[in-house]
Structure 1
């Protein structure tokens, strides 16, 4: 989308907040830059930066940089990621993701009574890669901005809770085994940044294993988008938003797959892959900053404790599932 003159001030404010969050993360690693950006964004977006003049740019910064970031994530993973996890590691992630999505959809429909699209976003965000997955699935299923923002906030908060708890309880759940701790963290925690942050609180070896498990979840993002897109065509119970006709895969998911394949079969310059990782990571912070700035108190009140409880229950279910599967498969 073209940047218009009335967007510049909002974009600048969002970028400044993102840089500050990245800086503050050095002293608050347990929150991570993404978590800091979202929390500061919620506070500032409802106080100092709530003027209407900032809104167009903040909405642009929330939606479009993350699309480039998701596309560039293709340069940070390869098909060799799958090979390194071996069969039981791949089976663990496939079962963990599938069961998480099924249970989250069931919880959303039967227990928490949220809309089908909100449940799909929760399923994607928790099963795959947090806000990036939600940003990918939302346009494919025709979700509203409020549904997207509320689920991103819920999933991000759940990720922060897991980030604080798993380093302490993980060794009691799966033992002092680096690969098992990597499977637990990489198979459960929501965003890529939160996975790395959680694993770093355990030890550097767990960071390596957790990242491998997490990258397999990222690789499977395209499949999740396609599945939810097809589901949206069949579940047209939300009459205010018509599900898209046909399977509409966002451009950045296609770019993600192309870049992943290029990175798998070609020797790309190291500066290109490391640069892509840095840019993708920063745009993830920009996305959370924009979401925080655009997430108004009224929206949070409207969601109430229901969504937060939904997110925390989902996090607990993910941990239980992961522990059971780890004990069976490993």
Structure 2
């Protein structure tokens, strides 16, 4: 057995991939526009909207053959680039703060899910051994990538691999849709945003779906979920080595090369870079936005290439629904139970962050849900960890009501740096010139980029507005 190193003809691949790349990008743009017009929780999760849009288009219309190279390029290479860019959100301190417990949970969940899904598929649902094993690998490790890698090692039939990928993609989409809703509604009471990241990182199948579910909750959840999921991706290597040994003994010949997820090393390099230098927010911000757009492209491509009709080709639809549903439920149950057990025993699974404390407060959740935390970011990352500010420290156009007609550097009169809200309870008047006698007056003066959030605030009922003001007053 050898570690795989595949040659890649970039110019030819890009030429063949261009039509599919354009379609994936257009779907991502459309998903962002659609998500912006939807209410909670979909407006928080354009990645999910991209997946649903791709599924709808891919199953209502036949995806042209000319698009498939570009869609495959998106799912394979742009996904890896998107994972590498997540490193700009994470520091070594965050990795050390995560501790060993979440990684042990991921390993424990992987082993149990692999065994249980395979046994149920074979013994209870009477599925083909090869298909049951590929489905179990997809549920336990990292979805389609794990299925394709194992399929190559085991020399599985393309038909079984294709149907297993379709099943795992659809089952993971259910998790992507449901888990953030359950968390934000308070139905996962033992989880904060960091432990929610552990939960989705260990239990959701596809890496892109992990991004979508955790990003819908908070950046803290996203960072933790990424680290946990990449740990499971690395576990694919020893798992494939084991399968390779069995495959070689069975065939009596040499094994297939073992694919290595080199992009994980790229992710680690970016994390190291991000931990030892301070990146200008004007550079880091567009990188983060581009990273989200890449994930939206990946999810759209996944949807466009997932055909629901394939689920009728192996063992009957009801058995496929049963094994997919079992994989979702058992993955979630094992991870949630393990988190509860560690919490009950006092084991640290994740520290409380400024963002998690915000989301634990009813007014803080409303503050986040209507969009206040987009500019009044709970905390920024410094060299020694997070710095609570409730500000992104960036310039924003606040509209005509706050335009003082004074030019300062590149800032026009209506552009103001986001005021930190930390220690807001010490103030008696508000805004840059102290014109506002109350927080409500200060919010009313917000226009320009903040107008949509201001309008959401005043559209709330009295109790919800009071909860937000009370939360801000405690900062």
Q: TM range, normalised to the smaller chain?
A: 0.7 to 0.9
User: Aligned in 2, Cα 1:290/1:319: closer, same or farther, shift over 3 Å?
Assistant: closer
> Are 2:267 and 1:259 equivalent residues in the alignment?
no
**RMSD (Å) for aligned C-alpha atoms:** 3.7
Once the 2 structures are TM-superposed, how far is the Cα of residue 55 of structure 1 from its aligned partner? 3.5
1:101–1:290 Cα change, 3 Å: same
Please tell me whether the aligned partners of residues 62 and 289 of structure 1 are also in contact (alpha carbons under 8 angstroms): no
Q: Given the alignment of the two structures, is residue 119 of structure 1 paired with residue 109 of structure 2, yes or no?
A: no
Deviations 1:140-160 (A, max 9, x none): 752756143442232222332
Higher RCO, 1 vs 2 (CA within 8 Å, ≥6 residues apart):
1
Greater Cα offset, 58-67 or 89-98: 89-98
The answer to whether 1:67 aligns with 2:80 is: yes
Deviations 1:60-118 (A, max 9, x none): 33333212222333343333223223455555455445544454454455445334233
More helix by share: 1
Aligned-pair distance for 1:123? 1.2
Gaps of 5+ in 2: 1-9, 344-475
Within the candidate set 189, 195, 210, 2:214 is matched to 195
Please state how far the C-alpha of 1:14 moved relative to its aligned partner.
1.9
In the alignment, structure 1 residue 54 sits paired with structure 2 residue 70: no
- The C-alpha deviation readout for 1:121-168, integer Å capped at 9, x for no partner, is 22113xxxxx6xx43773475275614344223222233233333444
Q: Distance in 2 between matches of 1:166 and 1:292?
A: 25
**Whose radius of gyration is greater, 1 or 2?**
2
Match of 2:241 in 1: 230
Contact preservation (8 Å) 1:46, 1:297:
yes
DSSP 3-state at the match of 1:170: coil
- Distance, in Å, in 2 between the alignment partners of 1:140 and 1:261 is 31
For residues 309-329 of structure 1, give each alpha carbon's deviation from its aligned partner in whole angstroms, at most 9, with x where no partner exists. 333323322333234323321
Higher mean alpha-carbon deviation, 147-156 vs 14-23, is at 147-156
Matches within 5 A, 1:10-25: 10-25=20-35
Normalised to the residue count of structure 1, the TM-score between the two structures is 0.75
What is the CA-CA distance between 1:234 and the residue it aligns to?
Answer: 3.6
Greater shift, 90-99 or 22-31, is seen at 90-99
Per the alignment, in what secondary structure is the counterpart of residue 141 of structure 2? Answer: helix
Confirm or deny that 1:293 pairs with 2:315.
no
Q: Structure 1 pair 279/178, CA: closer, same or farther in 2 (3 Å)?
A: closer
